[in-house]
């Protein structure tokens, strides 16, 4: 059974691949079928589609910081991580400064782990 630290590192590596716009690494972390939900809706992607989204996206990620991280293992080959993330950069040619609640479901694929589901909810600023 992998440790929570293994999954935390995997999630950090996933974010780092986005920051680096490392499309080749990013696609190796995506399951053959992956669901993604967020402010733009829901979609099903595959590794090639995620590679294109990473390479061609009209955004930059300058900085990210994960906090309040929890990891569970509902099955031997499945891990779910949930956390808050503060991210800064640019999106659609404007500044981006967001705090979100994210979660990822990782499934074991041979000796590696692949993202099968990633969700992101933008957290509203308190009044």
- The pLDDT, as a whole number, for residue 14 is 95
pTM of the model: 0.92
Instruction: Provide, for the chain, the percentages of residues in helix, strand and coil under a 3-state DSSP scheme, each rounded to the nearest 5.
Output: 25, 55, 20
Domains within the chain, CATH numbers bracketed = 4-122 (3.10.450.50)
Torsion of CA 80, 81, 87, 90, to 10 degrees: -10
Q: Residue 124: which pLDDT band, with cuts at 50, 70 and 90?
A: confident
Q: Residue 87: which pLDDT band, with cuts at 50, 70 and 90?
A: very high
Higher pLDDT, 55 or 19: 19
Which residues neighbour 6 within 8 Å (Cβ) at sequence distance 6 or greater? none
Q: Residue 40: which pLDDT band, with cuts at 50, 70 and 90?
A: confident
- The pLDDT, as a whole number, for residue 127 is 52
The rounded percent of the chain whose pLDDT value lies above 70 is: 98
- The pLDDT, as a whole number, for residue 15 is 96
What is the spatial distance between Cα 83 and Cα 101, in angstroms, rounded to a whole number?
6
| Among 38, 103, 99, residue whose Cα is nearest residue 70 | 103
């Amino acid at each position: 059974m992998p440790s929570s630290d293994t999954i935390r590192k995997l999630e950090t590596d996933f974010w780092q691949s986005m920051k680096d716009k490392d499309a080749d690494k990013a696609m190796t972390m995506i399951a053959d079928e992956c669901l993604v939900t967020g402010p733009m809706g829901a979609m099903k992607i595959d590794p090639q589609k995620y590679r294109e989204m990473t390479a061609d996206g009209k955004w930059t990620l300058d900085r990210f910081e994960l906090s309040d991280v929890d990891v569970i293992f509902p099955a031997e080959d499945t891990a779910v991580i949930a956390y808050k993330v503060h991210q800064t950069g640019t999106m659609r040619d404007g500044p981006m400064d967001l705090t979100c609640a994210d979660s990822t479901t990782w499934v074991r694929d041979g000796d590696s782990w692949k993202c099968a589901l990633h969700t992101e909810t933008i957290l509203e600023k308190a009044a």
